[in-house]
Amino acid sequence: MEDEREIRAPSPDPDSQSISQTTPHSIATQADLAGVYQLIAQLLEQQQQMQLAAQPVQPIESYYERLRRLNPPMFNGGSDPMIAEAWIRELEKMYELLQFSEEVKVKLAISMLRGSADSWWTAMETAYEVNGMAWGDFKRVFYAKYFSDSVRQMKQNEFLSLTQSEHMIVLDYVNRFNELGRFCPQFMEDDMSRANRFEQGLRHEIRSRTSSQLITSYMDILDRALRVEAELKRSDRERADLMRSRSDRSQSGRPWDLRGTPIQEKPRVRNYSSRSHSGIINITIADPRARTYSSRSHSGPYMRRARACYSCGRTGHLARDCPYKRRNELRPPVPGDQRPRSNARVLH
């Protein structure tokens, strides 16, 4: 029995046996999965290539016809960099709608070059291969000619120093802010950075009233600026109306009440009788409205220069023919009434 114990090999450890049996199998399984994934990716890529090859290649004229329906702008060259930059932006809007490929975008853009721009590309065409050229590569070549980095830097500085002038309304400031802001995307992409930069450019009268509250967004500060501007305009109109009203009062010389309404004054009339050898009295009024009044107590309007009997004040006859003359001469004179007679005057 002792010999048998010496000859018998020790039983292996179950844990070590499990590791020795499963580890090679696990490694083999992971390698197989990686190979399967790679094979699937290759098959998908081949399938996509076969689908693209199976699609019929449309001539460039068909793409141009689709673009022509949107009335694309032509580019004639020139020295204004903003026109060149605006042309690229207009094309990209249409390309996004039509979903053209990169190569088609480049070829269509080249077909819309005119004048000096067409001559420029003809000279550049020998250095660049159009077939397979990406749209981004074409833009870099185009901007190097018509919208250089120095121009872009100038527009960035213009945006950073932009302020609302004294006679610029808020909406005009907004348009200029957005137009230049595309050259500084670091301010426009973040909403709070955009709002803070917008507020800094507002003129002092508006900014002093909008900064009293915490800014929450760009639309928030824009709405505040528009409301403050409306309030300032209303105050300016009221102030202008008040100044105009005061000017009218001072020029007219007439009294006004607290509501700005002219006070109507009744003219004070003094009647004097006069005797002249002609027997005619001429009555004129200093009122600018040229009203005349008779020499008697009643104040009915007459012509500018009235011819009336000086004895009775009636018209239609002269003093020498007055039927009331004898009656007036028979009246006894009033004692002490020795004042000299003069023409009737109307005092206001």
User: How many other CB atoms are there within 10 angstroms of residue 94's CB atom?
Assistant: 18
Report which residue type is found at 215: I
Residue 213: in which H helix or E strand, if any? Answer: none
Q: What residue segments make up the domains of the chain, in order of their start?
A: 60-147, 153-241, 267-325+344-348
Residue linked to tokens 């291969």? 129
> In this prediction, what percent of the chain has a pLDDT beyond 90?
44
pTM of the entire predicted model: 0.52
Which pLDDT belongs to residue 12? 52
Q: Which residues, given as ranges, of the chain have pLDDT below 50?
A: 1-7, 9, 16-20, 22-24, 53-55, 272, 274, 276-278, 284-305, 344, 346-348
Which pLDDT belongs to residue 327? 63
Strand partners, 347: 268
Q: How far is residue 197's CA from residue 200's CA, in Å, rounded to a whole number? A: 5
User: How many other CB atoms are there within 10 angstroms of residue 221's CB atom?
Assistant: 22
Which pLDDT belongs to residue 8? 52
Cα end-to-end span (Å), the chain: 159
CA distances from residue 140 to 79, 147, 242 in whole angstroms, order as listed: 17, 9, 60
Which pLDDT belongs to residue 348? 46
Q: How far is residue 173's CA from residue 228's CA, in Å, rounded to a whole number? A: 14
pLDDT in tens, 168-220: 999 999 999 999 999 999 999 999 999 999 999 999 999 999 988 899 999 99
CA distances from residue 108 to 62, 75, 92, 96, 99 in whole angstroms, order as listed: 11, 12, 11, 14, 13
